[in-house]
Chain A
Amino acid sequence: MASELRVDTLKDSSGNNSVGMSYVAEGSAKGWIKYNGTGTIAISDSFNVASITDETTGTTTVTFTNAMNNANYSTVATCSDTAAHLQIVDANQATGSYRQRTLDGSLSLVDDPAVYGNAHGDLA
């Protein structure tokens, strides 16, 4: 049987290290992913990610299992080697998905073997 605790604040048993439930809810990542962006792209591990789509070289759309409440969530992304310098999240960010791109030092799109993404914001 499922159980539910309704509370506004969590503290340790000494009454220290207080954290409000709003920080627990809003501070938790709502999605994260590590994937291989080369060849047939594949998820290594993830949370709240339903699928990834290989749009074109260096461009991947990440689709959430549970959508965000709005498109104003924060995303950060990282790549894995010096040939792929930069990860950016482009303007194509919606409640159900976002798109990230991998660029090299010449700002050309490249595929990268280990790509990461994290999303923080309001879940629907």
Chain B
Amino acid sequence: MSRAADLAALIVDVNTTEAKTDELTGKTTAGSIAVTGEGGSTTTNLQQGLCKSWCQWNNAGTPTASDSLNLSSIVDSATGRPDLNFTNNMNNDDFAASGFGRSGYSMMWDHSSTSQIGVIIWYGSYYDANQCSYMIQGDLA
């Protein structure tokens, strides 16, 4: 392909292989950046694929996050039923969540809104497990 053709397609090939920026925004659609898939034959949507919130926390006693992304607080609503509040809201409450508890605890969705997800930690009954984790994929506001 000629240099002129490259320019026409606006392909930027960074020879140093490193791009420094604080923000990535789609050119045609701000919230949509395509990333070539591992097989090279199709693309995936970067924004849609990114995890919008995750956390590992101890729900025994006062719930405490060990590490997290986009989490402002954990509210101890009842035994085994914490509410996890986001720092930046989701666009709707139809996001996909998954979670694990340690050593046989189950984790289930209880309720959600744009600003939080309430989960159930279950071990035959509501239970305050000491190591829990969740992640969320969906649309950020």
Contact B12–A6 (Cβ < 8 Å): yes
Asked if A4 meets B9 with Cβ closer than 8 Å, knowing A24-B35, A48-B44, A116-B109, the reply is yes
Q: Within the complex, which residue of B44, B48, B120, B138 is in contact with A81, where a contact is CB–CB below 8 Å?
A: B120
CA distance A21 to B38 in the complex (A): 11
Give chain B nearest CB distance to A100 CB in angstroms: 11
Interfacial chain A residues near B42, Cβ < 8 Å? 66, 123-124
Q: Which of B43, B109, B120 has the most CB of A within 10 A?
A: B109
Q: Does B21 contact A (CB under 8 A)?
A: yes
Contact B96–A25 (Cβ < 8 Å): no
Interfacial chain A residues near B137, Cβ < 8 Å? 29, 32, 47, 118
Q: Does B78 contact A (CB under 8 A)?
A: no
Q: Does A53 contact B (CB under 8 A)?
A: no
Query: B8 — nearest CB in chain A belongs to which residue?
Result: A1
State which residues 60-119 of B face A: CB under 8 Å. Answer: 92, 94-99, 106-110
Contact B18–A8 (Cβ < 8 Å): yes
State which residues 73-119 of A face B: CB under 8 Å. Answer: 76-82, 84-86, 114, 116-118
Contact A15–B120 (Cβ < 8 Å): no
Q: Which residues on A are within 8 Å of B, measured CB to CB?
A: 1-15, 21, 24-26, 28-30, 32-34, 44-48, 66, 69, 76-82, 84-86, 114, 116-118, 122-124
25 inter-chain pairs at a CB distance below 8 angstroms, sorted by A residue, are: A2-B27, A4-B10, A5-B19, A6-B12, A10-B18, A10-B21, A10-B24, A11-B20, A24-B35, A25-B38, A25-B44, A28-B35, A28-B46, A29-B137, A32-B137, A32-B138, A44-B94, A45-B94, A45-B138, A47-B45, A47-B48, A78-B107, A80-B108, A117-B96, A124-B42
Q: Which residues on B are within 8 Å of A, measured CB to CB?
A: 9-14, 17-22, 24, 27-28, 35-39, 41-46, 48-51, 92, 94-99, 106-110, 120, 122, 135, 137-139
